Each structure stands twice: as structure tokens, then as C-alpha cells.
Amino acid sequence: MITIKNHKQQELFDPWAFLSPKRRRLLDEGWPGLFRSQILEELPVKQLSPSFCSAMGRPSKELYAMLGALLLQQAMDLTDEQAVTQFCFDLQWHYALNITQESDSAKYMCTKTLWSARQLVIENNLEPLLFERTSRKLAAVFGVDTDKQRIDSVHIFSNMRRLSRIGIFSRAIQKFLRNLKRQQPELLAAIAPPLCERYLTDKALSAFSVVKPSVAEKTLTQISADLFELVEQLKEQPAVCQMHSYKLMQRVLADHCQIADAGEAQRLTLKPASEVPSDSLQNPSDPDATYDGHKGQGFQVQLMETYTETNDKVQKAQTLNLITHVCVEPAHVSDTHALLPAIEDTQARGLAPKAAIADTAYGSDDNVSRAQALGVEVLAPSRKGAASTSMDLSVFAFDESGCVSACPQGQAPQRCTHTPKKDRYVVCFAIQRCRSCPRVAECPVRPGKKHYYLRYRGRDHRLALRRRFERTDEFIQRYRWRSGIEATMSEYATRTGVKRLRVRGMAAVRYGAVLKAAGLNLLRAARVQRARIKDRLRATAALAQRLRRHFLSFKERSAGRITKWVGFFLPVQAQADDGLLLAA
């Protein structure tokens, strides 16, 4: 049965009245109060409720509290046992999740319930919706300006061991033989006993982890031959071919080996390590993990966040840098393909930037042009080629149509033609002037029969304009704010533990990375809220001090006027009294 609490309904009596004013203020100013007042109602409970029956079964945990516990677990980087302990006993969690009752049905949760709830969220793909709702709510509450944003990626690792090529082969064989022993024991009996003995026991398998470098190549050849023998021996068995572990062996064989026909037999050769593709299997326990040449095995997370161009510490403390986009990818995917999906995602959610800054990997000509068509200016350094002493196209002058109007020496061309269909430009310079030019050796023009020619494409022209802009002070001043996202990546790793996840597989890794980004937004927003409250209190105290000084000054002035008035009034009154006495 579904249990859902309406958190908009007011309580007749305040359930938190037992808290002292100071402790209550700490909760309201910190992340518990912010979560309770702004985030709790945004959790996607309606999307989760179809997984429960409304009329049968035991009552479920309160769904808002359950989803909130999953989000707080990832934000605080807690294990399941630690999260259950916090849910049962931590007052901050009770206040944030608005748990007011003292019964076990309200304040108790077992690890199996937490695990089941996490599986429901992953199966229903609710973590992107949760991130979308929480980020949009925080943007509205804190008035986040999304016009300027920056993007970068961070490499993360799932809960898997880093294996060598020998380890990948041996683990794949062991995984398959164990599954075959459970599912098809009669087929296991047909396999050569020495092969089974080498891989089915942990003691025998551990010998592959201490292989000396001198015999590593021989061992790898033997293991690859064993794997090939298993694949060929059982490829006619339909039940075996459907096994996941058998498909992993086939994948390892295709990634690391080449099979050539040698008459009636087949010849197996190992690929050099440099020819193994980056999306090859890195560990049978996590088939989704791939390889990055710079950072190793694992996954990568693309983050886009807002920023403000200011050096004022007070303003920076009161401005929320909100993560507006998060995407988990295999490690081998290039950053070049991440910019446009990030812009389209933020535009669909109403958090789109007008200008985005990124590093060189995101700044391809195609990305810049397509982002400009979407109304977004991309500020990223152009990719530099090999070092050369010759001039590039950026030293030439261009007109509005993209044709060269003057060379670096100030000489105008005789003719410039443009072919729109192929987007090509051909510029003709006078032979006499180019021959006598002192810089002709380093100039990109080339001699022809009638002219010296300069040929380039539209993308070369756009690249030249970008490189010219990169040498200006304006670009340097604007681009220096990109480095701020490195601090975000560090905070993302240290506060939420995203660098070393406790799960494996793309679905579980995506769940953890997305919820940790939502949790980081919450913690940042709580810090900004606290800074704003302190600033208001400081301003109120300053105003009270000014009013006090003004009141004291007014009191002193009033006392002076009264004294002066009394000093004037007493002689007049005395004269009046004397006149009355004389009349009498």
C-alpha cells in the first residue's frame, strides 16, 4: 500500500516546538530547513507511486521521506548502513524529511528497503527528473542568473579492480566457467580438466596476478588460447551462447585478438596494446566501463554550472553557482560531443546560457557554429596545430563577406572569389609585389602562373577570427573565469565522493553521479542562504546602531532646547508675578 504524506498541510500544533529557538534557527538556516521548505515537495513521488499497489500489501515507507533519504545519502556520501542510522536517529534528517512521529513506521528503515527504493529509482530512470526539479526550484528561489555558464568533465571510477590484459582474460574465463558450472554442469564435464583447474579455483587464479614481466607475454598467449578454445568449443550450444558471461568472452576475444584463416584451421594472434580499442572491456565485473588514455579506466561526468564575474567576496558568498546540467558517459567518449547536448538540455529546462566557456576540447568549429545557431556564444581556445614559424590566416585582414582585404604587409589582393557550394575562397595577389616581399618565405600564399594564390575554406576564416580574438585583452579577461569550474570538480569529488563510487554498471553509476550533483546544489544553496541571512542580520544591526545614535543625538538636542526654553521662561514668569503683586 502507498503511504504519501501531504507536506503542504499545516499542523494544528507545531511538532518542533520542543526545540529551543537557537537550535530551531540553526536547522532553518542550514540544509535541513532548505530541504524541508523547498526540495521535499519537488521529489518525483507521483512517478514512483505506480510501482506500489494502492489497496494491497503492507504499507510502504512514506515516499517523500524515502526519496529524500536516497538524495541525502548520495549528498553525504554514506553507505547503506550509515544512511539507515541517520534516518533512524539524526534530528537533522528528521527535520529535513519532515518526520514528526516517533513510531517505527515513520523513523525506521532497513537496508533492504533502502536498496529496493534505489532499484526502483534506477529502473524508472527518475534521477534525471529529480535533478531537473531540484535545480529548477533552487534557480527560482535564489534568483540564479543562467546567462553565463561553464562546462568541463571529471573522470570517475566505479567499484571495480584495475586489471591488466592477463587479468581481463583470466577473470572473463573464470566468470564463464562458474556460471557454466551452475547452469550447465553437463557441458562443464566436457571441458578439459586442466583448463578448469587453472581458472575455477581462487588459489590457481591468483597466480596470474603475480606474473613476472619476463614471462608475461608467454602467459598472455596461453590464456588467450584457452579463451579461444572455450569460445570455439561451445559456439554450437544455443543455451551457452545466450549467457552473458559467454558474450563477455567473445567481446574480449574481439578486442584483444585477431583470428585469421590458415587453411582448415584458424590462427590466433594477439593485438599490440596500442591497437586495443578504448571502448574494450576493462573488467568483466563492469562491462560498461571503458578506457581513457590520460585518466585510465572508468567513466566521466559532464558538468555545466553558472558563474558570476565578480571578485567581491561578499557578493560571491551570496551568489549561487548552480549546476544546471549533469551527464554520465563512458570514459572513451570525447568532450567534443558533450557541448551541444548540454546546451539543448538546459534550453529544454529553461536554464539555457547565453555564453558558455570551456576548454579547447569543446571548442571545435562545428560546436561553435551550431551553438551560435542556438543563440549561445561559445568561448573556448582554438586547437593549436604543430609548432611552425610560418604565418597563419589570422594575420590577414578580412571584409564582412569573409574575403581577404589585405595581407600582413598591407597589400590588397587583385581578386578574391568565393564558391558558396564548397565554401572555398581563392585570393589572388600580384606576382611582382609578393616576390619582392621580405616575408614571402613564411607567408601562406603560393606562387602560380599568373598570381600568388591563397586558398582557404570558411572554417579556416572562422578559425582565423577566433585566434585573432584570443590575443585580445577582452578574451583573456572573460576566459579567466573558466578556471572556477576546477574548484567545483574538487568540491564535487571531496564532499560527495563521486570519484570512487561503491557501485558498478552504467545505470548505477549514473544514479550516483546525478544525485550527488543534486546534493551538491543543495549544500551550496544552504551555504548561500546562510551568508545572506548573516548579511541581513549584519545590516539590521548596523541600522539599529544608526537609529540608536540618531535617537541619542535627538535626545541631547531636545534636552538642550528644553534647558534654553526654561531659562527664557523663568524670568518672564517672574516679571509677570511681580506685576500681579503690584496690582494687588
Residue 403: domain span: 393-461
Contact 307, 149 (CB under 8 A): yes
Q: Are residues 64 and 174 in the same domain?
A: no
Residue 387 has pLDDT above 70, yes or no: no
Q: Could you tell me if residue 298 is inside a domain? A: no
pLDDT of residue 491: 94
Q: Could you tell me if residue 453 is inside a domain? A: yes
Boundary-marking domain end, from 461, 483, 518: 461
Residue 449 has pLDDT above 80, yes or no: yes
pLDDT band at 350 (very low <50, low <70, confident <90, very high): very high
Number of structural domains in the chain: 3
To the nearest whole percent, how much of the chain has pLDDT over 70? 92
Q: Give the number of other CB atoms < 10 A from CB of residue 473.
A: 7
pLDDT band at 582 (very low <50, low <70, confident <90, very high): very low
Q: Could you tell me if residue 257 is inside a domain? A: yes
Q: Give the number of other CB atoms < 10 A from CB of residue 382.
A: 19
Strand partners, 298: 290
* 421 vs 150 pLDDT, higher one: 150
Q: Are residues 12 and 114 in the same domain?
A: yes
The answer for residues whose C-beta is within 8 angstroms of residue 208's C-beta and 6 or more apart is 166, 167, 170, 219, 223
**Mean pLDDT along residues 396-416:** 88
Q: Are residues 105 and 2 in the same domain?
A: yes
Q: Are residues 106 and 178 in the same domain?
A: no
Residue 440 has pLDDT above 70, yes or no: yes
Q: Are residues 94 and 196 in the same domain?
A: no
Q: Could you tell me if residue 449 is inside a domain? A: yes
Residue 408 has pLDDT above 50, yes or no: yes
H-run or E-run covering 291? strand 290-292
Boundary-marking domain end, from 420, 436, 461: 461
Q: Could you tell me if residue 437 is inside a domain? A: yes
Distances in Å between the alpha carbon of 250 and those of 226, 238, 247?
12, 14, 5
Q: Are residues 42 and 105 in the same domain?
A: yes
pLDDT band at 143 (very low <50, low <70, confident <90, very high): very high
Please state which of the ranges 140-149, 261-270, 400-409 shows the lowest mean pLDDT: 261-270
Q: Could you tell me if residue 81 is inside a domain? A: yes
**Mean pLDDT along residues 410-427:** 89
**Mean pLDDT along residues 414-442:** 88
Strand partners, 209: none
Q: Could you tell me if residue 103 is inside a domain? A: yes
Residue 194 has pLDDT above 60, yes or no: yes
**Mean pLDDT along residues 537-542:** 88
Q: Could you tell me if residue 320 is inside a domain? A: no
Instruction: Name the residue among 497, 527, 516, 485 with its Cα closest to residue 134.
Output: 516
Distances in Å between the alpha carbon of 89 and those of 20, 85, 101, 299?
19, 6, 13, 35
Boundary-marking domain end, from 218, 250, 275: 275
**What pTM value is reported for the model?**
0.87
Q: Are residues 115 and 15 in the same domain?
A: yes
Q: Are residues 187 and 120 in the same domain?
A: no
83's grid cell: 544512511
Q: Are residues 18 and 99 in the same domain?
A: yes
Q: Mean pLDDT across the chain, nearest whole number?
A: 88
